[in-house]
Amino acid sequence: MASILNVDQINNAAGTSAVTIDASTGKPSFPNGAVLPAGSVLQVVQATTNTATTSTSTSFTDTALTASITPSSASNKIVILTQGNIHLTNNQYNTFALLNLLRGSTQLMINGFSSDDAVGSGTGPTTCGSAVLNWVDTTHASTSALTYKVQVKIGQTSYSASATYNKNIGFGGNNYAQMILMEIAG
């Protein structure tokens, strides 16, 4: 049989308050401004989607992959890890897609994927490959909710190409793209 200990506060040996447990969130707080050391993971948020987004435009289109996190300090870092796939159709050797990682409307990074990067010869009608965007956001300077998202666009349209982010390519079900956000103590 498991035992459960319910407490609101833990005192040190001298009887002075050492840790208080918030009744609504269950999160501990420490007296005298004590905090976890730099590099500690403070919170983790995960978002997934199985929705595909196709672009035939040279302008960025929002995908369904988005996640939000509210930092506890403006000086903490946010680590963004994304994983999905990119699918190019009607490609030639110079066909490529671009993925854009944003915080709100602020561009953090762009990554390009060409038909030569993906599985296949680059001359067939379609190629598909892994699409990863990873970033450490050190410039958010906020304790308000931060929303991160991925966008997709085709690099050029001269071959009537299209780029699909998170295309269902089989293998027994839908593909899932995911985004993981981690707040890291500064």
Exposure letters 158-183 (e unless 16+ CB within 10 A, then b) = eeebbbbbbbeeeeeeebebebbbbb
Helices (H) then strands (E): counts for the chain:
0, 13
Helix ranges (H only) for 44-129 are none
Q: What percent of the chain has pLDDT over 90?
A: 46
Give CA–CA dist 40/136, Å, rounded.
14
Mean pLDDT on 83-91: 82
Q: Where along the chain do the CATH 2.60.120.1340 domains lie?
A: 38-184
Class (C level, CATH) for 38-184: mainly beta
Q: Is the pLDDT of residue 117 over 50?
A: no
